[in-house]
Structure 1
Amino acid sequence: MKKILFLLFIFFTSLAFAKPIIIVSILPQKTFVQKITKDMADITVMVEPGNSPHSYEPKSSQMIAVSKADIYFSIGVEFENVWLSKIKSQNSNLTFINISDNIPKIAIKKDNHKHNNNDPHIWTSPKNVEIMANSIYKALITVDPKNKNLYKSNFDDFIKEIRDTDAQIKEILKETEPKSKFMVFHPSWGYFANEYNLTQIAVEVEGKEPKPKEMIKIIDEAKKENIKVIFTQPEFSDKSAQIIAKEAGVVVKKISPLNPNWSQNLINMAKAIAN
C-alpha cells in the first residue's frame, strides 16, 4: 500500500510541476517565449539555425516534439503555410496562437510597386515585439495559470527591455536623414525601416535573383544613392550582392533577422545604417 501511495504521489507531483511544452517556428520567437517563461517551459524551434523559413522541412524528431506539445506559437512565415495543417493533424490537443494576428502587415515593395505578398518579418520592429510578447503572455497564463505571477514579472521585465532597445535605436539613428536608404538582398527589414523612417531597397524579391538588366539598374541606384553597404543573410546566397558590391564599390555585410539575440541584432543593424 505504501508503495502504491508513493507512486501516486510521484505521479501527481510530476503533473503539478510539468513544464508547458511549446513549439515556435523561428529562433526569435524562442527568445521572446524564454523572456517570459525563463526555465518554466520546454521550447522547440521548427526552423533550425542556418535554414530559411521559406522552404524548411521539419525533421522527424521535431514532429515527435509536436505530438507532445501544449502550445504552438505561429508567426506567419512561409514555412507555416505548408506545415501548420500537418502539425494540427499530428496533435489534436495542441493550442495554436498566431502572435502576428494583432500586427498591421506591410506589403513587400519592389521598384516602388507593392506586391500582393505581405512581409512576414514582423519581429524586426520593437513595437511589434511588444504586441507579440503580450499575446505570448496571455496564452501562457491560460495554459499554466499557477505560474501567472512569475510570468507577469518576467513579462514586465521584457517590456522594459523592448522599450530600452527602441530608445537605443532611436539614439543611434538620431543624426540619420529621414527616409535614408539602405540596400538589402532579401527584403527582411521593411518593418524596421517603417518604424525608424528609413527606406529599404531590395535586390531580391520573392526568392528571385535579379536579371542582368535589373542588376545594372540596381548598381546605378546604389551609386546614385551613395549606398555604402548591402546587407545579406547567411540563409541565402549572396552571389548577386557580391557582384553589385564590386561594381558599385560598396561592402557586403551579413546580418540575419533570424538571430536569436533579437535586441542586439536590431541595435547592430541601426549602427551599420548610421555609419
Structure 2
Amino acid sequence: MKHGQRTLVAAATAAALVLLGGCGSGDGDVASGSSAGARLAVVATTPEVADFVRTIAGSDVTVTQIIKPNVDPHEYEPTPADIQAIAAASLVVKNGVGLEEWLNPTIESAGFSGTVVDSSRGVRIRQGDPGDEEMKDGDPHIWHNPQNAKIMVGNIEKGLAAADPSHASTYRANLAGYAAKLDKLDADNEAAFATLPVDQRKLVTNHDAFGYYVDRYHLQFVGSVIPSMDTSAELSAKQLTDLVAKIKATGTKAIFTESSLPPKTAEAIAQQAGVKVVGGDDALYGDSLGRLGTPQGTYLGAERHNTQVIVSALGG
C-alpha cells in the first residue's frame, strides 16, 4: 500500500470510530442484517463486483459499493464512510488479484469480523512483466472474459448462500439466469469479432487492462499509452516514439481511451501516429462501469459497449 493510502486509512479510522461511537445498537443491528427480517448487508469493492452482487442477490441484500463509476481503482484511497460500511457489513466481496491493495488494512481498521469473498478464486490468472508492481499478483482485470465473470458470480453466490441460507434458492436461481446471459454475451462478442478480418483486430488502449479480452477474442495487443497496469505510470520519450512507430508499422487504425482515465496523452499519440482516437461517449470501460441507471452502468451493458465500439472503429 502506498504511503498516502496508509496515512489516509489512519485518519479515516479515527474519524470513523467517532462516527461509529455515535450509532445506537439498533442501527448497528439493522445494518448488519442481524435483526429479524433485516436484509443482509454486503460491501462490494468495485463497480463490476457490486453489479454482480446486486444481480445475484436481487432485493434480498443491501449492497454498498465502495468505488464509484469512472474512478480509477488502481489509485483508490478509502474514506471514513468506507470504514463505516465495512464495520457494519456481514460480507465483503472483492475482485481480488491484488486490485484492492487498500482493503486489508481498511478491514483491520474497521474491526470487521465477517466473511471476505474473493470473487477471483478459481480464475486462471494472466501473468505479466515481473517488473510491473501492479502485476505482482497477476493481471487483476479478470472480468473482461465473460467466462471468468461466470466464475466470479459463482463465488459470490456461494458466499451469499453461506451468509444467508434462507435465501439460498433465490441466489441459485439468479445465478443460473445470469450465467446464461454471460454465455450469450460471450457468443455475441465472438460473432462480432468474426466480422473483422484478422489483420484488423489490433488494439491500442489507455493502459494494459484488456489482456483477458484480447486473449479470449484473439486480438493483437499493439500497446498502451500507459506502459503498465499502474495508471500513474508514464511513457518515456523512447517508449512514446516506439509506440507511435509500432502503430504505424502494424497498420493499427485507432487508439481507444478509457472512461476512468484522462485522454490527452492518447490524443497526442494518435495525432503523431496519424490514426483516430476513440473517446468521449465511445470511451471504453476498462476499469469501471458507467453511471448507475445507464446501459453501461451494468457489466453486461459496459462489455457490449466495448465490443460494439471496438468492432465499429476497427472495421470502419
Q: The TM-score by the shorter chain falls in which range?
A: 0.7 to 0.9
Q: What is the correspondence of 1:100-115 to structure 2 with a 5 Å cutoff?
A: 100-108=120-128
Q: Which runs of 5+ in 1 are unaligned?
A: 1-10
Answer 1 or 2: which has greater strand percent. Answer: 1
Letter in 2 for 1:153: A
Other structure's SS at 2:75 match:
coil
| More displaced stretch, 125-134 vs 194-203 | 194-203
Partners of 1:78 and 1:46 in 2: how far apart? 16
- Seen in structure 2, the aligned counterparts of structure 1 residues 191 and 96 have a Cα distance that, compared at 3 Å, is same
The equivalent position to 2:211 in structure 1, one of 190, 199, 204, is: 190
Partners of 2:158 and 2:127 in 1: how far apart? 28
CA RMSD of aligned residues (A): 2.2
Q: Which structure 1 residue ranges, 4+ long, deviate > 6 Å from structure 2? A: none
Structure 1 position 55 matched with structure 2 position 75: yes
Structure 1 position 81 matched with structure 2 position 106: no
Structure number, greater radius of gyration? 1
Aligned to 2:61: 41
- Seen in structure 2, the aligned counterparts of structure 1 residues 36 and 106 have a Cα distance that, compared at 3 Å, is same
The equivalent position to 2:241 in structure 1, one of 190, 206, 216, is: 216
The equivalent position to 1:255 in structure 2, one of 284, 298, 308, is: 284
Letter in 1 for 2:285: S
Q: Residue 30 of structure 1: CA displacement?
A: 1.0
- Asked whether the 8 Å contact 2:97–2:120 carries over to 1, the reply is no
Identity across aligned pairs (percent)? 24
Q: Residue 109 of structure 1: CA displacement?
A: 5.5
TM-score by length of structure 2 reads: 0.76
Partners of 1:162 and 1:79 in 2: how far apart? 23
Aligned to 2:294: none
Partners of 2:157 and 2:254 in 1: how far apart? 38
Q: What is the correspondence of 1:52-201 to structure 2 with a 5 Å cutoff?
A: 52-76=72-96, 78=98, 80-108=100-128, 116=136, 118-178=138-198, 180-200=201-221, 201=223
- Seen in structure 2, the aligned counterparts of structure 1 residues 24 and 77 have a Cα distance that, compared at 3 Å, is farther
- Asked whether the 8 Å contact 1:55–1:78 carries over to 2, the reply is no
Aligned to 2:305: 268
| More displaced stretch, 190-199 vs 14-23 | 14-23
Report Cα offsets for 1:230-273 as digits up to 9, x if no partner: 12223223222111111112222221221142212222222233
TM-score by length of structure 1 reads: 0.87
Letter in 2 for 1:227: T
The equivalent position to 1:239 in structure 2, one of 242, 251, 264, is: 264
Partners of 2:301 and 2:214 in 1: how far apart? 17
Partners of 1:14 and 1:46 in 2: how far apart? 22
Q: Which runs of 5+ in 2 are unaligned?
A: 1-29, 290-296
Other structure's SS at 2:202 match:
strand
Q: Residue 44 of structure 1: CA displacement?
A: 1.1
